[in-house]
Amino acid sequence: MECYLDNSATTRCLDSAAALMAGILCTDYGNPSSLHHKGVQAEEYVRHAREVIAKTLKVTPKEIFFTSGGTESDNLALRGAAYANARQGKHLITTSIEHPAILNTMQYLEQQGFEVTYLPVDENGKIRLSDLEAAIRPDTILVSIMHTNNEIGALEPIAEAGELIKRVNPNTLFHVDAVQGYGKAKILPKRMKIDMLSVSGHKIHGPKGIGFLYVGDRVKIRPIVFGGGQERGLRSGTENVPAIAGMGKAAEEMYQNLDTDLDRMYALKQRLADGISTMENVRINGLCGRDSAPHVLSVSFAGVRSEVLLHALEEREIYVSAGSACASNHPDTAGSATLRAIGLPKELLNSTIRFSLSVFTTEEEIDYTVQVLHELVPMLRRFTRR
């Protein structure tokens, strides 16, 4: 039985999205900037996707800008806003558990003369609002906080943070990396005081190589890519029409039955956690109920190296991750940033596996995974001791 439990790394593209993309690639392949019929057809696909995505967030279509993915969206938000508002101040705030797309961009901005405050988190990976309030200054121009942590599934207090930021300094912009949260939660930027929001298509059963950035209509931001002036001049480059349409289709379907899908995913995650918890010397990192993400479960298996367990599971056709896929080749740096930040004991840092579910995950897959773990982990521990 194949069990794909690495959905935080990437998801299977929906059949409906793939079919739509194939038709655009081979039939409706015009450039949306062209004035003839083929171009008008292509522009219609882009327009429709923009409207669908805007509806899921209850924002206006003109506030949605298409990019190549979450990393570009994060870069555009941070660098674009920092450069545009540098005269008002050069102080930025983020958290210690952000994705490398945020942390590395912040480090770059520090090299450009900006000052960055990195907020600590508690043992469950959540920021303290008191720390955020204390960090905001008159010259703070931007705060960036992830919606859902990609390693342990911590949900940050986004709505409360938005209210706090605007109360302490109304001029401070609030950016949210929602790559792991969009499609798995109701996110309302206007109500949550979010000025910018990053999303990636391949995390919501859309294609890779596409994403979007929500930018509130009053936000001051500069482009970081220059060219033909597409996306209202904020992100030049010929639009990736097939991918945009595919992401729009995926967004539409992810939000059609969101509540039902969330209930099911939470139940499956709990089933997995309960099955694993009966094993000896295991630790579930972060929270596990409704106050955590519905799809991410981080577990440390004492006495077993992550990479060894990962490949042992792979031999049984169970696919998981040893932390963040984007940093899995650097286990001593960015990949374990979150685990270090929550105070995970050093001996468990390289013994941690991330299981991540999707709407396609079944009870049978969860039960099979638990069964295999009960077989493999004791055996691998005996082998390690030898």
CATH 3.40.1260.20 fits 15-256, yes or no: no
What 3-state class would DSSP assign to 199?
strand
Question: According to the model, what pLDDT value does residue 333 have?
Answer: 43
The string of pLDDT tens digits covering residues 194-229 is 999 999 999 999 999 999 999 999 999 999 999 999
Asked if residues 81 and 173 have their Cβ atoms less than 8 Å apart, the reply is: yes
Q: d(Cα 42, Cα 335) in Å, to the nearest integer?
A: 39
Which residue has 């083929």 as its token pair?
38
For the CA atoms of 193, 215, 21, 187, the dihedral, rounded to the nearest 10 degrees, stands at 0
Catalytic residues: 326
Find how far residue 301's CA is from the centre of its chain. 25
The CATH class of the 3-11+257-385 domain is: alpha beta
Round the average pLDDT of the chain to a whole number and report it: 95
56, pLDDT greater than 50 = yes
Q: Where are the domains of the chain?
A: 3-11+257-385, 15-256
pLDDT of 121-167, one tens digit each? 999 999 999 999 999 999 999 999 999 999 999 999 999 999 999 99
- Nearest partner of 224 among 68, 378, 379, judged by Cα: 68
- In order of 73, 114, 296, 345, 349, the CA distances from 278 in angstroms are 41, 48, 19, 21, 21
* pLDDT of 385 higher than 80: no
User: To which H or E segment does residue 213 belong?
Assistant: strand 211-215
- For residue 118, give the nearest of 145, 154, 83 by alpha carbon: 145
**For residue 352, what are the CA distances in angstroms to 262, 310, 347, 349?**
25, 10, 10, 6
pTM of the model: 0.95
pLDDT interval class at 335 (50, 70, 90): very low
Q: Does 324 score more than 70 pLDDT? A: no
| CA pair distance 149, 106, nearest whole angstrom | 17
pLDDT above 50 for 168? yes
pLDDT tens, residue by residue, 1-36: 999 999 999 999 999 999 999 999 999 999 999 999
Tokens of 293: 């993400």
Spatial strand order of the sheet with 91-95 comes to 64-67, 211-215, 196-200, 173-177, 140-146, 91-95, 115-119
